[in-house]
């Protein structure tokens, strides 16, 4: 809790009234209206918390100094209370401010501050444009500068830095000239503002006597620059802007125009590269078309191969039924899981072997074994043993070789070649 005696000590010499009090996170925050005793219009309501009075007075070298234990400006409890107050005003006047529009809402808030209401401002008796923007829910705050400029042109409101203040009837340069004079005089805002106020004040108070009466020729900037106040006409800005750029360029200063020319060159180079990239994309599209055609061709071939595979399988089944033989298929799966023939294992009865070779070689069946014994004794021996034991004979061959041979018109020639090859091996 705040020690009331410390409040009295801290604000001695001033009139003050405690308006409200909050307990925020076990930390007391007060709204105190502080006024100058002689000029009560000076001052206004301000938030104080325990941090503001948490200090000691020490004497050093004969002078008293205040030593604070913390920074009241960084107190989170005080900031939380301030935001509560802002929210209260928004809930109470938010709809009304929207209804009257931003410009009149700014004036309404300014009027309340002048009437010593506390709306959440950080300094007593004044409000910054940032505080107005917070109350109106406008971010960033400089979005309100358009409305402030309109109020300035209507001579209803002025800004001292970012502090709202009443419009004072006096001489003022057009806004662009004011910016120029500030910039030329000092980089430090307060110094340049003071210089400008002194300069405009000199024009305001300048007078001469005529017929015994004092005349003030520069009482208002609006009277001196009727067509260029509060802002210089766009046509005038364009004329002098070009003129000043030419002056700067003639004196060796690189200007915006030089930068624009440089950027134009860079953009032209980028455009050339973009055109090349566009051509390359067109080439890629052509290649994609060609590859798509190739893919379609391969897909068609694959489809045809699957069909042929199916036909071969049907042919095998017919052979099994027609010749009463058994064919064992050795298969493998392709990338899609389809089965493809690789090799055959054919099991035949001895009589079926003799009949098959007899037809293919054109040799009578009863003479085949004798001929086969001369040319291929191993085969003849296998056939004889199978007949004697009542067994069968097995043959293995690759699928592609069988297909080639079955489709060949020179089967007899193939058999003879096979017999000759075996004779050589023997």
Model pLDDT for residues 287-312, shown as the tens digit of each residue = 888 788 888 888 888 787 777 667 66
How many angstroms separate the first and last alpha carbons of the chain? 120
Return the structure tokens found at 156: 């209803």
pLDDT above 70 for 360: no
pLDDT above 60 for 406: no
Mean pLDDT of the chain: 82
Return the structure tokens found at 330: 């050795």
pLDDT above 70 for 326: no
Which residue shows structure tokens 């909050």? 22
Model pLDDT for residues 96-118, shown as the tens digit of each residue = 999 999 999 999 999 999 999 99
Beta partners for residue 15, in sequence order: 35
pLDDT above 70 for 418: no
Which range of 167-176, 300-309, 363-372, 386-395 scores highest in mean pLDDT? It is 167-176
**Once rounded to an integer, what is the mean pLDDT over residues 256-265?**
74
Which has more pLDDT, 406 or 195? Answer: 195
Reported as type and span, the H/E element at residue 263 is: helix 256-323
Q: What is the distance between the alpha carbons of residues 298 and 277, in angstroms, rounded to a whole number?
A: 31
Q: What is the distance between the alpha carbons of residues 406 and 421, in angstroms, rounded to a whole number?
A: 20
Q: What is the distance between the alpha carbons of residues 378 and 27, in angstroms, rounded to a whole number?
A: 113
Which residue shows structure tokens 């106040």? 229
Task: Note whether 237 and 228 are within 8 A (CB).
Answer: no
Task: Note whether 48 and 2 are within 8 A (CB).
Answer: yes
Distances 244 to 231, 253, 366 between C-alpha atoms, Å: 18, 11, 122
Q: What is the distance between the alpha carbons of residues 329 and 17, in angstroms, rounded to a whole number?
A: 108
Task: Note whether 221 and 171 are within 8 A (CB).
Answer: yes
pTM: 0.56
């Amino acid at each position: 809790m705040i020690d009331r005696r410390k409040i009295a000590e801290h604000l001695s010499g001033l009139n003050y009234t405690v308006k409200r009090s909050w307990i925020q996170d076990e930390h007391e925050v007060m709204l105190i209206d502080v006024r100058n005793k002689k000029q009560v219009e000076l001052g206004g309501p301000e938030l104080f918390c325990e941090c503001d009075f948490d200090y000691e007075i020490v004497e050093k070298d004969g002078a008293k100094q205040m030593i604070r234990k913390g920074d009241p400006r960084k107190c989170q409890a005080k900031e939380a209370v301030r935001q509560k107050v802002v929210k209260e005003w928004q809930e109470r006047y938010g709809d009304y401010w929207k209804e009257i529009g931003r410009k009149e809402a700014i004036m309404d808030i300014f009027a309340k501050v002048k009437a010593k209401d506390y709306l959440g401002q950080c300094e007593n008796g004044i409000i910054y444009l940032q505080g107005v923007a917070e109350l109106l829910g406008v971010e960033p705050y400089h979005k309100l500068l358009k409305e402030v400029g309109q109020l300035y042109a209507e001579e209803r409101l002025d800004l001292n830095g970012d502090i709202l203040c009443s419009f004072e009837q006096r001489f003022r340069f057009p806004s662009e000239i004011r910016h120029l004079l500030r910039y030329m005089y000092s980089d430090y805002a307060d110094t340049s503002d003071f210089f400008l106020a002194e300069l405009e004040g000199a024009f305001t108070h300048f007078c001469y006597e005529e017929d015994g009466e004092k005349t003030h020729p520069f009482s208002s900037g609006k009277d001196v620059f009727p067509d260029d106040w509060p802002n210089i006409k766009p046509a005038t800005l364009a004329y002098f802007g070009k003129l000043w750029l030419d002056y700067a360029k003639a004196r060796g200063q690189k200007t915006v125009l030089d930068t624009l020319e440089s950027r134009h060159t860079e953009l032209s180079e980028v455009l050339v590269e973009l055109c090349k990239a566009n051509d390359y994309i067109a080439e890629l599209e052509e290649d994609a078309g060609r590859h798509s055609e190739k893919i379609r061709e391969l897909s068609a071939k694959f489809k045809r191969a699957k069909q042929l595979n199916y036909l071969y399988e049907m042919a095998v089944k017919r052979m099994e039924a027609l010749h009463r033989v058994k064919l064992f298929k050795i298969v493998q799966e392709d990338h899609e899981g389809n089965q493809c023939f690789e090799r055959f294992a054919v099991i035949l009865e001895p009589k079926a072997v003799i009949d098959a070779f007899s037809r293919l070689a054109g040799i009578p069946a009863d003479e085949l074994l004798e001929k086969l014994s001369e040319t291929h004794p191993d085969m003849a021996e296998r056939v004889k043993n199978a007949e004697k034991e009542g067994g069968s004979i097995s043959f293995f061959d690759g699928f592609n070789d069988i297909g080639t041979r079955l489709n060949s018109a020179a089967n007899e020639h193939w058999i003879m070649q096979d017999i000759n090859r075996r004779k050589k091996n023997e």
